[in-house]
Amino acid sequence: MIDPEHRASLEEIYERARSCTACPLAATRTKVVLFRGDPAARLMIIGEGPGYYEDQSGLPFVGKAGQLLDRILASVNLDKDRDVYICNVVKCRPPGNRVPTEEEASSCRSYLDAQIKFVQPKIILLAGATAMKSVLQVNSSISRMRGKWLDHKNGAKVMPIFHPSYLLRNDSRKAGSPKWLMWQDIKEVRKQLDILLEEENKNISS
């Protein structure tokens, strides 16, 4: 789904970001964290920002929360390397894993916008309040917004979901618990994705 031109544009964006000093996070980062997964994926997941392991490795969502995310994806047969493109609102680690400021998020916004523009995902999941607020410019709570389909200006369907680190702090699987709600949400995402893929196949064969 990604043509060579878009791939080249993404490479340019990564190149620029790797030497970016547009916000104060540049001073304390080890590595700039851009993405993992496949730029040809229909599904994009946007988190908040790198933590310790991400800053060390240069890859998003590789710590505990990321491992949980991969298990959540696998539970509906989504492959972490092939079926998703995963990135964050800010590309450099906020010291002590604090929430990035609005200034930091907006300094970093052009990179995220370019990722959305060139990957052209059909579905975007916003993991946690920071991604939801930053991408949708809303001030509602994630508990109220999660699981709802919204429209993105690039044409994608967007759904806010809980952040996996929130699930790590709330272990219950009872009906109505955060983990249970995440399970409902990811099943809904799988369903929409299947509908999309079916439409794509129809268009190819007709």
Q: Which is nearer to ligand URA, 5 or 39 (CB)?
A: 39
Whether the Cβ atoms of residue 123 and residue 193 lie closer than 8 Å to each other: yes
Q: Residues 78, 88, 107, 125: which binds ligand URA (CB under 6 A)?
A: 88
Residues 124 and 158 sit within 8 Å (Cβ to Cβ): yes
Q: Residue 17 binds what, of ligand URA, ligand SF4, none (CB under 5 to 8 Å, by partner type)? A: ligand SF4
Does 166 participate in binding ligand URA (rule CB under 6 A)?
A: yes
Q: Work out which of 10, 13, 129, 193 binds ligand URA, going by CB under 6 A.
A: 129
Q: Among residues 41, 44, 65, 92, which is the contact residue for ligand SF4, using CB under 6 A?
A: 92
CA distances from 108 to 61, 93, 114, 160, 170 (A): 18, 12, 11, 20, 30
39 secondary structure, DSSP code = T
Least distance (Å) from ligand URA to the CB of residue 125?
11
Near ligand URA in 142-161, by CB under 6 A: 142
Q: Closest Cα partner for 91 from 129, 136, 54, 62?
A: 54
DSSP summary character for residue 76: T
The SS3 assignment for 124 reads strand
- Residue 13 binding result from ligand URA, ligand SF4, none, given CB thresholds of 5 to 8 Å by partner type: none
Quote the least distance from Cβ 133 to ligand SF4, whole Å.
Answer: 16
Supply the minimum distance, in Å, between the C-beta of residue 194 and ligand URA.
25
Distance CA 33, CA 112 (A): 12
